[in-house]
Amino acid sequence: DIQMTQSPSSLSASVGDRVTITCRTSQSISNFVNWYQQKPGIAPKLLIYAASSLQSGVPSRFSGSGSGTDFTLTITSLQPEDFATYYCQQTYSTPGTFGQGTKVEIK
Amino acid sequence: QITLKESGPTLVKPTQTLTLTCTFSGFSLSTSGEGVGWIRQPPGKALEWLALLYWNDDKRYSPSLKSRLTITEDTSKNQMVLTMTNMDPVDTATYYCAHSLYGSGKIDYWGQGTLVTVSS
- Work out the average pLDDT over A25-54: 97
> Confidence band (pLDDT; 50, 70, 90) for A2?
very high
Per-residue pLDDT, B74 = 86
Over 90: is that where the pLDDT of B70 sits? yes
pLDDT band at B83 (very low <50, low <70, confident <90, very high): very high
Sheet holding B79-84, edge to edge: B3-7, B18-25, B79-84, B69-74
Residue range B7-16: mean pLDDT, rounded = 98
Per-residue pLDDT, B77: 82
Look at the alpha carbons of B79, B93, A25, A12 in this order and tell me if their dihedral is positive or negative: positive
Distance from CA of A59 to the nearest CA of B (A): 15
- Is B63 in Cβ contact with A34 (below 8 Å)? no
DSSP letter assigned to residue A31 = T
Contacts of A34 in chain B (CB under 8 A): 104-107
Mean pLDDT for the stretch of residues B69-93: 94
The pLDDT assigned to B76 comes to 80
Kindly identify which residue of chain A lies nearest to residue B58, measuring between CA atoms. Answer: A94
Q: Which residues of B touch A (CB under 8 A)?
A: 37, 46-50, 52, 60-64, 96, 98, 104-108, 110-113
Q: How many CB atoms lie within 10 A of CB A94?
A: 17
Q: What's the pLDDT tens digit per position in A76-91?
A: 999 999 999 999 999 9
